[in-house]
Amino acid sequence: MNLPGDFEAFHGELELGQKQLDRIRSAAESLTSYLRDAMNLDAEDIFLQGSITNETAIKPDPEKEDGEYDVDLVVISAGPDDSPDAALDALEGVLERHGTYGPMIEPRADRPCVRLRYADDEIGGFHVDLVPARRSSDEAPLEVPRPGEGWRPSAPAEYAQWCRERGPEFGRVVRMLKRWRNHYQSAREAVKSIILQVLIADHFPSTSDDAERVALTLRGIADFLSQHDTKPEIRNPVLPSEVLSDRWDDDSYAQFRSFVAEAAEVAEAALAEQDANTSRELWGRLFGNSFPGPQARSVDLAPGEQDLYRDFGISTAIAGEVRIEPSVRPLNGFRNGRFGALLPLQKRRQLDFKIGYTNVPEPFEVFWKVKNHGREAAEQGGLRGEIRRDSRGRDASRNERTLYTGGHYIEIYIVKDGVCVARGHVDVPIE
Looking at residue 298, what is its pLDDT? 47
Name all domains of the chain by residue range, CATH numbers in brackets.
4-268 (no CATH), 298-430 (2.60.40.10)
Q: What is the pLDDT along the chain (431 residues), one digit of tens a residue?
A: 898 888 988 898 898 888 888 888 999 999 999 999 999 999 899 999 999 999 999 988 877 766 788 899 999 999 999 999 999 999 999 999 999 999 999 998 888 999 999 987 767 778 999 999 999 977 899 999 987 789 999 999 999 999 999 999 999 999 999 999 988 877 667 899 999 999 999 999 998 899 999 999 999 999 999 999 999 999 999 999 999 999 899 999 999 999 999 999 999 999 999 888 889 889 999 998 888 877 654 446 777 889 888 888 888 877 788 999 988 887 765 555 567 666 788 788 888 999 999 989 999 999 999 998 888 888 888 889 999 999 999 999 999 988 888 888 899 999 998 888 888 888 888 88
Order across the sheet with 322-328: list the strands: 322-328, 350-358, 397-401
Distance CA 5, CA 64 (A): 25
**Residue 343 pLDDT:** 74
276-287 vs 4-14: helix crossing angle, rounded to 10: 20
| The pLDDT of residue 299 | 45
Q: What is the pLDDT of residue 332?
A: 60
pTM of full prediction above 0.85: no
